[in-house]
Amino acid sequence: MNDLIPTTPSTHDLVKSGTKGVAALVVGGALLLLRGFGGIFGIVVGGALVVFGSTVSAKADTTDDRVGGLVSTAAGALTILASLPVVGGIASFFMGLGGFSLAVYGGVEVFRFIRGARRRKRL
């Protein structure tokens, strides 16, 4: 009666974990890449990201799309701040910290996805 039955993740959970992992890896890498932009080019790229993110979150139908738009807007604002000479060092540090953290989180989620997919394959 009290036997332990191994649980397998549902397909919905696997898809959710894989999507979160890949998205976090991409956004983390993008933040680390955007950190290197500076000067007027960084301000232009950051402004484009702010406009894009604001448009996506304003026209979004789902909560996930709104969150994605807000993340894009925040990345654009940080890129603009990192391009300014006065606060560039602090904003650049936070971009690096955020990019690294998102990349680690994405790696963990991809690992969970792979582990769950293997578990489903065995049963």
Residues 6+ apart with CB under 8 A from 98: 28, 31, 78
Q: How confident is the model at residue 4 (pLDDT cuts 50, 70, 90)?
A: low
Q: Which amino acid is at 3?
A: D
How far apart CA 14 and CA 89 sit, in angstroms, is 39
* Residue range 61-114, pLDDT digits in tens: 888 778 888 888 888 888 888 888 887 788 888 888 988 998 999 999 999 999
From 82, 71, 63, select the one nearest 106 (Cα to Cα).
71
